[in-house]
Chains A and B, each alone.
Chain A
């Protein structure tokens, strides 16, 4: 890797199936992962709905892409920040989210959690501390 590594933040603020933003963001993240940058994902506002458990779209005729979040660890995308206040405003807690992990090759493939719940102040700091922010 000869180029400088930049800090990329993908900001996810939309619910998964009503609009195409969530799926588009996920695809950009997977494609962008090839560039070996320092990637973080932020989930706030309705974006927190993207990570909820138990999604089943067979009755609405749309692809269920919620399992794909579980592949992010394979793509070395291991930092998913979820805003606590956004969960609370929607009657959700961390228990309502899928369990997402990544395998640490340097630690005998130990599974480590990818989701980190942070508050709004920490989210603001995270956003301020990036080289590139892409919002969906």
Chain B
């Protein structure tokens, strides 16, 4: 199973998470978002970029409540609240945003 990024194929697992994290690009993020029926806005990108920074620093994708708490602290309570985050990513801010960010499924997501 693979995404097609301008003719290059990027492998993913049965849930759509990419297999090799280093193959992520912004173009790929747009393609995954389209498959997830998410239209990427600046707020979406802010969350995706936050997740990538978090993974870079701690080597894990945060659980959803940790994500929302951290977003609240860094981007403010207008973005960092349950309701708004689920509006951005209807299938779960951690699960769906991590997929778009090219990260593994969040630790603490069973």
Contact = CB atoms under 8 A, between A and B. Distances in A.
B108 A71 contact: no
Contacts, number: 37
B38 interface: no
Contacts of B107: 27, 30-31
Interface in A1-46: 27, 30-31, 33-34
Given A27-B107, A74-B69, A34 B63 contact: yes
What band does the interface of chain A fall in when counting residues whose beta carbon is under 8 Å from B? 10 to 19
Interface stretch (B10-18, B54-62, B83-91): B54-62
Nearest to B106: A30
B58 A68 contact: yes
Given A34-B63, A74-B69, 9 more contacts: A27-B107, A31-B108, A67-B57, A70-B58, A71-B54, A71-B66, A74-B62, A75-B63, A75-B66
